[in-house]
Every structure is written in structure tokens, then in C-alpha cells.
Structure 1
Amino acid sequence: MVISVAKLVVNSDCRSSGCNPSKYFSGHCGGTGRIGVLVGGLIICYIRRRSILRSRSRVSRQFYQAKGITIPIYTYKEIEKATNCFSEKQRLGTGAYGTVYSGKLHNGEWVAIKRIKHRSDCDDSIDQVMNEIKLLSSVSHPNLVRLLGCSVDKDEQILVYEFMPNGTLCQHLQRERGNGLPWPVRLTIATETAQAIAYLHSNLDPPIYHRDVKSSNILLDYSYTTKVADFGLSRLGIMESSHISTAPQGTPGYLDPEYHQNFHLSDKSDVYSFGVVLVEIITAFKALDFSRRHNEVNLAALAVDRIKRGCLDEIIDPSLEHNKDTWTYSSIHKVAELAFRCLAFHSEMRPSMAEVAAELERIRVSREENTSLSLDGTNHSSVSIVNEKQTSQEVKIDESDKKGLLDNMNSTDEQNVSPNYADDQWLSESSSPSSSGRLGSGSKV
């Protein structure tokens, strides 16, 4: 009788905790030994159940007590319905921290849904999610991706973002989407990205250091407007100090060598990573590529070498046709010079992101001149100087360049964000939690 009651209690108490109480009841029951085993099994299941409940309670408490979070909270059932039970057809990309799916909410809005992976270091995973929610809830900039909601239901940590139908800068540079971007569009993307990061560094108190600036975290919306994404690794800066100490995290190929050496994180660490992105934009090379010669695997090192020797033309993306006119040629070289300064080994030698953004804007608007001359001095066309209002409007993207890009979209917006679109990937790769992960990808969710 005691055994039967114990068995009933164990089954009832442990079913939700994942225990398998049946193993405690194999064979014939009898004697004090069997009762001891039963009691032991009951205790084990009880401890496991308490641990799970305590973890759930802590997550919920941490979530609801977090300040400044005003985004909608979705139930797991709502998320499941939006993604068709996390259908593989709607998977956009998988990285070290989770998988991203396209999803359609009950109001018909298409979104990107990031389902955080269950990890053994549960505390770190929860902290990662809470960090991103807090940071994205506190910032507002037209070139930062918006967090639209979240869910911490049923032991799941899920983030809901605005949907980016034109993928990532990395995908375009690597010809995974389309046939590449023209130089004016690349320059506009670089300028908008720099403005977003400069906002994080200079307009917030305390500032935010992104820590994972890379081309696969630069997303493009319907009109190819830039949206910087993925704040999972971001940290608040400390105003009283020039740096904070933390273990190296980020993506190999983009990591600040000084940060990797002494664990000192500063705004200049983001500057270095952005310097790598500028070189990617110029060359369309991967940040790390083991198919290149041994001394050219690292793109930053390759670019610094070529710029030092005055051989930049050797690595410029041929599709840019940089010799076709004076402005294209000179602006590419000016951006390369800026990238060279960003890639300085010593952080104090690098410009601030505000300086980088201002310089890129100057280069971008220099396109509007009285005349556009070819390299041989021939006057090919005349371009009138636009007024100040027109110049400010063109910070987003030149309309003629945008039209050419949008003409390549073969269907309506609704078709572009259908579940079948998921194969194009919203986020292609995920950064590693340390410098040792995914070296070959050169590219996190």
C-alpha cells in the first residue's frame, strides 16, 4: 500500500519535471530496501521539479522587474501560430545563439522571430536575452532595428523584430542575394551604419558599445535603408572610465586586436570592427577566408598591407568599375583611407564613430558637384548643385540608385515576405561567444 501511494505521488509530482519514476519500480516491490529506493526517487524528482520551477520563477521575475521595457509580450501559442509551429520553410537563419524565423502576427504584420537556443549555461542565455531587450527598448534611431515584442513563456526566450526583406549587407556583397550593390548605395549603407553606431556611443548616457559590428548584422529594409541589428553582446559603457574589462566576445575577423589582447573594451573596439566592414564594402571579400593565401586570410591585415603599399586597386571589387569616373575613384580611396585609420592597432590612434560618420557623409555628398569628370578630364555630364534641403533628404539613398535596386524585386511586398521567402535568410550567421568559434564563417543570431 505504501509503495502504491509513493508510486502515485512520484508519477504525479515528476511528470512535468522530466523524471522517469518507472525506473524506481522495476521488479517486485517489497522490503525496506525498496521503500528506501522509492523515497530516494521521490526526493530526486522533487528536487528537479523545484529547480525547474525556481528557474521559471526567476526568469519571469527578472523579466517583469526589468525597468524601461514597454514592448508587447506574446504567448508561446501566438508565436507558434505566427511561425506555423516553427516551420522549417520559415527559417531565415541559424547561429550560435538561436534560430530566426519569419512570422505573421494576428494583425497581418510580418516579423522576424528569434528563438533563443537552450544552453547548458542557462544563466548566460537568460542574461543575453534580457540584455538585448533592455538595450533595444531604450534606444530609438532610424538605422537601428526595432524590437517589436518578446516572449518568455514555456521555458522559451523569444524576441520579435521588424522584418527586413532585403537581407543583410553581407549577403549582397557575397552575391548570395542579387548581383552586388552599386558604389553609391554601398557608401550610403556605410554612412547610415556609422550614424547608428555613433548614436549609441555619443547620444546615450551611459553609451552603448555594440561589440559585434559586422556586415551580417547590417540589415536592409524594403527601400534598402540600413538597420543595425543584434545587441545580444552589447554592453553599457562606463562614463568615468575609458574602458571596461570583459572577456573577448564577438566575431573572428572583426575583433579589435587590442581588446583581444588585454580585454579592454571601449568605443574604439566598435570603430575597429566598422573598419573591417568598410573594407568589405570596398572589396566584397570575406572578413576571414581560408581559401586566400596564408598571410591574406585576415581581411583587415590584407587591406592595411595594400593601402600602405599604395596597391588598393588590387583588391577593389571589379564590379564597382572604380575607374569609370573621378568621383567613384576618389571616394573609394577616401573611404579606404578612413578604414585604414579605423584599423589602427592602438585604439587611441583611431577616430571616434562620430568622426567616422561625419567623414563618410562628406564623401557621400561630394558626389553632387558642378561637373563629373572622367579620369582623362573629359566632361561627361553636368550635375547641378542641389540645395541644402535636397542634400539632407539624400542621406538615405539616391533615388535613381534605389529605383534600380527595387526594379530587381520580382513581386509585391506581400509575396516577398511570404513563408517561401524564408530561404533568403534574414540573419545568415551568428557570432561565436568567444574568439574560438566559427572561424570559417567570418560572420550570430
Structure 2
Amino acid sequence: MAPPPSATAALSGEETTVAPPYDRRRAWLVTAMIVAFMVINFADKAVLGLAAVPIMDELHISNSTYGLISSSFSLLFSLSGLVVGFLSSRISSRTLLFVMTLTWAVAQLPVLVLAAVPTLIAGRVLLGAAEGPAASMSMHALYKWFPPHRRAVPSALQIGGAALGTLVSAPVLTWLITDHGWRSAYAVLAVVSAAWALVWWRVGHDGPFDEARSAATGKRTSGATRLPYRKLLLTGTVLGSISSAFGAAWALSLSHVWLPSYLRTELGMAPGASATLISSVSAFSLVLLLTVSPLMDALKARGVTSRWSSGATQGLAVCVAGCAMAAFPFTDAAVPRLVLIGLAFGTVAVTIPLHYMTTAEVVPTAQRGALFGIVAATGTLPGLVAPYLTGHLIDTADTTSSGYTTAFLIAALVMAVAGLLAVTLIRPERDARRLGLDRTLADGAH
């Protein structure tokens, strides 16, 4: 009778690894907390855009100044995402997310003390610094609770929290802004962020799927695979994933900052109707997210490679959104125009979980948090450029309408190029073989 694998490994002097146990109940509790985390995260991002018109009226600021305030959110966003990504191997996800959300609460306070351009900028810079690592580190925390073959649905739910955040926050924050003044929305978000942090500190412990365990001893192994970051960053899959994230982020930054104002000033919508449309776009994104991830699992189960299931899907999503972005400014019929707006700003949501999934397939587990931080830092750079550029274009154009049109056409071009690069470059299976990780991926799938 042959000895068990662990015994064979012990006799041969080799160390094999086994996956840690999967705690389904705790994993889904953490998932629920992270979904709530993302809801708050995107409500924080959306509040300035939803309050744009009353803030601009009260403080007498131009479109360019408003765009500058909005872009200031991204001043430290990418840098903090990069730095925290590298720190994630030394600091627990529990601590990182706790500190982030407490900082979100603090960032809402300056405008409650003094409403002025400097305090708006200070609050947005601090908020951006604290939210830069949010998506990547919450995904990293989530992955610690699920084995590789169970991550598609939790990943979709995590990003679904972003769509849900806008879906829920648009009508609620609009009601607060309209009926109780725009400052009330900031105050409520501060309280909600602090409350989430306190609950997370109690339940948000790190999961077991960070390091493998020795089959012979049951202890965590210390010799995890590590590769040079330069080698990882120059793989086509990582570059393509960054490209798709870049295209999606350009659309998302316009959605948060300028879409509410565009709907009210250019399309003549009332605050409630504008909030309803923004919520509808988010609902469309949420449906896509909850549909696409199970579809990805089904395609992979039928033998479809990650290149075509998750790689091509994210690239094509950005391309489709770009085409819609280029078309809706020239569409006069109300219903087709609203459909195109939904496609332009809602379709890109599916890119977010998919670009993390494709990146994870070509990165050693020990370096996943850092690579997620790098991908988030570079992929979200449009938030630093697009809001201010749009405000400048509006102020310098012959008409406000032509300024918006130019901004949307530039966005469409960026998105089309980014989507095509993603389709061309993302090849996880090929890159994993070149990096010597294909055996690890195969083992993790079982």
C-alpha cells in the first residue's frame, strides 16, 4: 500500500503544501462587510458631484475650479494605493481597512467647520489618500478568505458594492442635499464611516488563504514564490489589466464628477430625476457584475481560457462603453440618448473585478497585495486628469455644450485605445507559463 502524499514528501525530504480549511460562514460575513465598505467608499466619492450645483452656486466657483477640487481627490490617490500595496504584506488587512475608514470620516469634517475652496480641497486630498488603496486592499482582504476557484462571485460582489454605493447613495444623498443642505450629506457620511470601522475591528480578521501549509507538518510555509516586480509588471497580462482599468477609470471619474452636473445643466433634469438616472446606471452596472462573474466561471468550466473569458471581456466592455460615450452627445432622441449614457458609464463596471482576476493569475500570492496596489495606482490615474481637463474644456469652449462634447469625445478615444490594448495583451495562461507559475495555478484550481 502506497504511503500518503504527506508521508512520501517527508521521506523524500521535499515539502508539499495543502490548502487551508475554507470557513464558509466567516468568509461570507467578511464579504458582506467588504460590500458595505465599498458602498460607503463610492458614496464618499459621489457626494461632491451630487452637490456640485449648490456648492458652485453658494461659493461662486467656476467649472475649472470645481474640476480642480474634484481632481485634488486623486493627488495622493495613486501614490497611497502604491505605498499601502507594499505595506500589505506587513500590516494586516484588518488594520489597513480600519484606518482607512476612520480617515474617511475625518476627511468629511473640514467643510463642516468652514465651507470654502481650500477646505474642500483639503478634505478631498485626505479622502483620496485614504481611498486610494480601498478597492485593491479590500479585494486582497477578500481573497484571504476564499480559495482561487471560489473567488469569482465574491469579487463581483465586492465591485458590486461600488455600483450599489452609487445606486443607494444617489437618491439618499440627493434628498439630504435638497432638503437639509449639502453639508448634511457630508455629516452623515462621516458617521457611517466611523460606525463601519468599529464593526470591522470586531469581525474583520484576516483569512487563511495567504500562505500555503506544509502537507507534512500542517504549518505555514515560509518559502513562498517571489519574482522581480519589474518582470511581473512587464507581462502582457498585467499591462493589459492596467490598460483596461485606465479606460474604465476615465469613464468612472467623469461619472462621479461631471455626469450629475451635465444631466441638470445640459439636459435640464430636476435633482430627483438626475439622481434616478444615476441610480439606474448603477443598477445596470450591478446587474452586469452579478451576471458576468458566474458566466466567467461557466466558461472556464467548459475549458475557455482566461484570455478569452476574463481578458477579452474586460477589454471589449471598455470599447463598447467608449463607442457609447462618443455617440450620446450627438443623439437628440431622449430614450436612445439615455440608453447610450447607461452604456457609456455603466458597462465599464465589469472591468474592475476582471482586471484583478487576470492580474492575480500571473502574480505569486506573497506579492499579490503589492501588485494590486500598483495596478490600482496606475489604472486610476485618470482621476487626477479627467475632472480638471473637463472643467477647463467647458470654461474655454464657445458654449458649455460644446465643451462637454469635446470632453466626452476625448474620453471615448482614451477608452477605445485602452480596451483594444487589453484585448491584445491579456494572456494569463501564456504569461503564467513564462513566469513558471502555471503549476501553482493548476494546483490552486483543485
- Please report the TM-score for the alignment, with normalisation by the length of structure 1: 0.27
Determine which structure has the larger strand proportion and give its number: 1
Which of structures 1 and 2 has the bigger CA Rg? 1
Tell me which of the two structures has the higher relative contact order, counting C-alpha pairs closer than 8 angstroms and 6 or more residues apart: 2
